[in-house]
């Protein structure tokens, strides 16, 4: 795995260790010792006050990896083994929330966003003092200003008024990364995710420098059912092509090694999305609608539902590739549980709305599972899927892929359609989409919207790093010979 920061290493190592214990039937028996083994007495933790704090953080980070969160702890002396037993014995995942914040880990960010530096000249104008609405500015004996953090409300007025730029803004990374202001501090100073606003883009999860934000994992729900002999079918997102540095046949073979009954490419479902969306686009334009957006990004759908309801008439009603792939899998294996595998946090929400999909694993989790189970990709026997999807369907993994697939499918009819893409749901692009919804006008007739800047291949829960993933995906797409360009509709 190409780690880009230490947080990824921590998440990967911890889940791999838990899976390793599960494999040896020792999860319940040995999990209580895991924090001690990860942070021995003589170790020097980086970023924590002491080894005991570090052990507490390790303890609580196991919660979301086992499908739990901080609300499951009612007594601090309850051993981890009790929670492991709970995770392995529950009939189904039961958490309402998609993400959670580990409060023990969320402890080192600033409580107030503004601080006065030694650049302060102690000027007579005292603009910061005169403009502060809460009288939070105090003065040292030398005349330099200081902020009373008990009174300050982080409004930033002093920052704007200082003529020497001596007052700096100190961001809270998770809050700054969230495009919809869904994360903020609670009364205890710990970050809290408001899921009535959250669009599950996952930006906060990888922005947090202390690794305090987690998805609620279903890893052990899936593994336990495989162990019990239940039929499990993996439907795997197109961006799998850019995740592991081996042949795709060996990657699919690894899923068989884990215990999945069958592997089906979501790219097969993407072909249904392409054809249905193409015909819907032509119908909407013929009816006089000025534009239509794609519908396959679940984070974008959450954005529309929660923040831009005026956009609903312009969003395609076509199902996502997962939607169609799940029904293909159900038809082929009616008695199996369907597990979607991809790079996306928001898919966890879409899965809950789709009765054909039972569980979800991310690429990041799959990498840890392979490590924990000791499966070496290079030694795995290849497995080939039965259905060959067109190159454009696999291209859904990258920004512009959906737009490109629809235009390739429409062939000559696409020449009169102006298509644009909005990749990366940030504050600027949200304002753009909100303006389109309000006016009913857009710069293009067909708009592809992706939450992640480079499309799914740059998703928050990928296994490979962004640069390597993009490069590998591009190389793999070149190998795909089947294309809409060479086939009749």
**Cα separation of 417 and 410, whole Å?**
10
- 188 pLDDT higher than 90: no
Buried b (16+ CB within 10 A) or exposed e, 464-483: bbbeebbebbeebbeebeee
Structural domain spans, the chain: 6-106+183-216, 114-169, 241-479
Q: Are 203 and 460 in contact (CB under 8 A)?
A: yes
What pLDDT was estimated at residue 370? 97
DSSP designation for 412: G
Question: How far is it, in rounded angstroms, from Cα 460 to Cα 16?
Answer: 18
Half-sphere exposure of 196 (CA within 13 A, CB side): 0
Helix spans in 287-346 (H): 298-306, 321-332
Mean pLDDT of 184-188: 85
pLDDT at residue 195, rounded to an integer: 93
What is the spatial distance between Cα 49 and Cα 330, in angstroms, rounded to a whole number? 51
Helix (H) or strand (E) holding 338: strand 337-342
| % of the chain beyond a pLDDT of 70 | 98
Is CATH 3.30.70.60 correct for 114-169? Answer: no
pLDDT for 378-437, tens place per residue? 999 999 998 889 999 999 999 999 999 999 999 999 999 999 999 999 999 999 999 999
Residue pLDDT, tens place only, 455-483: 999 999 999 988 999 999 999 999 998 99
Rounded to whole angstroms, what are the CA distances from 246 to 333, 338, 420, 476? 28, 25, 34, 11
Q: Would you say the C-alpha torsion 39, 34, 204, 100 has a positive or negative sign?
A: negative
Tens digits of per-residue pLDDT, 359-383?
999 999 999 999 999 999 999 999 9
State the Cα–Cα distance between residues 40 and 47, nearest whole angstrom: 16
**For 83-107, what is each residue's pLDDT tens digit?**
999 999 999 998 999 999 999 888 7
What is the spatial distance between Cα 377 and Cα 4, in angstroms, rounded to a whole number?
A: 21
- Assess contact for 205 and 310: CB atoms under 8 A: no
Read off the tokens for 198: 């959250």
Nearest partner of 212 among 43, 27, 56, 18, judged by Cα? 56
What is the structure's pLDDT at 71?
Answer: 92
- pLDDT on residue 46: 72
Mean pLDDT of 301-324: 98
Q: Kindly report the length of the chain.
A: 489
Using CA atoms, how far residue 117 sits from 55, 162, 350, in Å, is: 35, 11, 46
Residue 308: which residues within 8 A CB-CB, separation 6 or more? Answer: 430, 433, 434, 437
| Whole-angstrom distance, CA of residue 101 vs CA of residue 73 | 14
User: CA dist 411 to 96, 270, 279, 449, 489, Å?
Assistant: 44, 17, 12, 21, 9
Whether residue 465 contacts residue 439, with contact meaning beta carbons closer than 8 Å, is answered with: no
Q: What pLDDT is stored for residue 374 in this prediction? A: 97
pLDDT of residue 6: 66
| Rounded-to-integer distance, Cα 227 and Cα 23, Å | 10
Q: Averaged over 208-223, what is the pLDDT? A: 95
**In the structure, what pLDDT confidence band is assigned to residue 486 with cuts at 50, 70 and 90?**
confident
Q: Among 78-82, 128-132, 168-172, 482-486, which stretch is predicted with the lowest mean pLDDT?
A: 482-486
pLDDT at 185: 87
Average pLDDT over residues 162-189: 92
Give this prediction's pTM: 0.92
Per-residue pLDDT at 251: 97
Q: Is the pLDDT of residue 3 over 60?
A: no
- Quote the CA–CA distance of 76 and 72 in Å, as a whole number: 10
Residue with tokens 């995906």: 473
Q: What is the dihedral of CA 133, 135, 139, 145, to 10 degrees?
A: -20
Alpha helix positions (H), 228-297: 248-258, 266-286
**What's the CA gap between 285 and 414, in Å, rounded?**
12
In this prediction, residue 2 carries a pLDDT of: 45
pLDDT of 8 reads: 72
Q: How far apart are CA 337 and CA 119, in angstroms?
A: 62
Q: What is the pLDDT of residue 1?
A: 43
- pLDDT tens for each residue of 41-72: 888 877 778 889 889 999 999 999 999 999 99
Q: Taking all residues of the chain, what is their mean pLDDT, rounded to a whole number?
A: 93
Taking a C-beta distance cutoff of 8 angstroms, is the pair 65, 368 a contact?
no
């Amino acid at each position: 795995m190409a780690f880009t920061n230490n947080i990824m290493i921590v998440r990967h190592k911890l889940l791999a260790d838990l899976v390793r214990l599960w494999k040896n039937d020792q999860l319940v028996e040995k999990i209580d010792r895991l924090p001690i083994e990860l942070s021995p007495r003589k170790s020097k933790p980086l970023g924590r006050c002491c080894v005991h704090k570090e052990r507490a953080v390790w303890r609580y980070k196991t919660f979301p990896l086992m499908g739990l969160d901080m609300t499951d702890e009612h007594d601090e002396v309850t051993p981890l083994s009790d929670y492991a037993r709970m995770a392995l014995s529950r009939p189904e995942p039961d958490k309402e929330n998609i993400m959670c914040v580990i409060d023990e880990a969320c402890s080192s960010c600033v409580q107030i966003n503004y601080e006065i530096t030694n650049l302060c000249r102690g000027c007579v104008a005292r603009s910061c003092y005169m403009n502060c609405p809460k009288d939070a500015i105090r003065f040292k004996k030398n005349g330099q200003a200081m902020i009373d953090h008990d009174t300050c409300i982080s409004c930033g007025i002093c920052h704007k008024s200082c003529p020497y730029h001596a007052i700096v803004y100190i961001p809270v990374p998770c809050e700054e990364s969230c495009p919809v202001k869904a994360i903020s501090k609670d009364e205890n100073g710990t970050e809290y995710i408001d899921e009535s606003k959250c669009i599950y883009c996952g930006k906060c999860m990888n922005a947090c420098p202390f690794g305090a934000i987690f998805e609620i994992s279903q890893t052990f729900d899936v593994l336990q059912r495989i162990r019990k002999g239940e039929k499990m079918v993996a439907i795997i997102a197109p961006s799998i092509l850019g995740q592991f540095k081996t042949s795709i046949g060996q990657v699919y073979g690894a899923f068989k090694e884990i215990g999945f009954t069958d592997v089906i490419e979501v790219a097969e479902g993407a072909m249904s999305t392409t054809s249905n969306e193409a015909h819907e686009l032509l119908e909407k334009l013929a009816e006089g609608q000025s534009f239509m957006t794609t519908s396959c990004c679940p984070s974008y759908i959450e954005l529309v539902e929660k923040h831009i309801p005026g956009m609903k008439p312009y969003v395609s009603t076509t199902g996502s590739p997962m939607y169609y792939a799940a029904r293909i899998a159900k038809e082929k294996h009616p008695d199996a549980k369907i597990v979607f595998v991809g790079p996306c946090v928001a898919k966890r929400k879409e899965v809950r709305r789709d009765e054909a999909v039972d569980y979800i694993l991310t690429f990041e989790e799959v990498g840890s599972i392979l490590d924990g189970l000791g499966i070496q990709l290079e030694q795995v026997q290849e497995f080939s899927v039965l259905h060959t999807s067109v190159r454009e369907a696999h291209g859904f993994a990258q920004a512009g892929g959906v737009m490109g697939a629809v235009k390739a499918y429409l062939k000559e009819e696409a020449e009169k359609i102006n298509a644009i893409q909005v990749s990366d749901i940030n504050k600027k692009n949200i304002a753009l989409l909100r303006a389109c919804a309000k006016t009913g006008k857009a710069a293009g007739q067909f708009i592809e919207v992706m939450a992640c800047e480079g499309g799914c291949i740059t998703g928050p829960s990928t296994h490979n790093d962004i640069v390597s993933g993009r490069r590998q995906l591009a190389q793999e797409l070149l190998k795909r010979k089947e294309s809409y360009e060479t086939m009749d509709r």
